[in-house]
Amino acid sequence: MIIVTGLIVIAIISVLIYPLPFQPPPYTLVIRNLRPAVLVALFFFIALFFQDLLSKRKKLVAPPKVNFPSRLYEGDSCMTEVHLTGWSDLAPRGERVRALFFIDEYGNKQPLGMDIETDFNPKYLAIELLAAGFDIEGAKKQKQEISFAPMNYRWNIRPLNSGNYEVGLIFRTENASGRTRELGVVTHNVSVVKIDHLTSRHLWVLTRIFGLLTGTLGVLEVLNRLGIITFT
């Protein structure tokens, strides 16, 4: 959108700075007086254009991450996801690889590190979810062919009971001949809370109802003090 707007503005500026032959002299004089302002507007839209490009570039090079909640309510389900922008996220740098990190529901980050052998030529990257005490929708072990395009692994999980649990992700690579190598295991702690068989959806609805009732009572109290309505 910014690009299209900028092109339209540049086209208008071009006409203003270089008037057409049939434009009358008074109009040309006005354009010359406006030329500094036109140049300022041109630089402004150029700056917006480059800012738009930089923001898109940042989205394309998003760091590798694992989204997983630290807290769930019994009966809820949630989506956990491993996002890799490409194999370069796990490509060896010496004897180590770039660190993955967890992002929990509060935005906290937990750095992760895995070892990888530099002499192994992998073709596939497999990730297996270990989550005892959870119902998992989808294959626990997911395998994708390695590429430099974004790679996403997703599982939908639902806790069976309340309590504290530890979930794990096993990272493995596989070459063309079927040989596998384990990169490492990362773990994360999840707390499952039980509140009288209420899920987070129920709690959200009750909170909204309570907020609506509180706001209604506040409005009625103000109207009563103003004498618009009276309570008997």
pLDDT, tens only, 135-151: 888 899 999 887 767 78
Q: Cα dist. 91→20, 114, 116, 125, 177 in Å?
A: 58, 11, 8, 12, 20
Predicted local distance difference test score (pLDDT) of residue 141: 93
- Domain spanning 65-193: CATH 3.40.50.2000: no
Contact 73, 199 (CB under 8 A): yes
Nearest CA to 101 out of 65, 154, 151 is that of: 65
Q: What is the pLDDT of residues 43-94, one digit of tens each?
A: 555 666 555 554 544 444 455 677 777 888 877 888 888 887 666 555 555 4
Predicted local distance difference test score (pLDDT) of residue 56: 45
Q: Count of CB atoms within 10 A of residue 27's CB?
A: 13
Predicted local distance difference test score (pLDDT) of residue 142: 93
What residues does each domain of the chain span?
A: 2-60, 65-193, 199-232
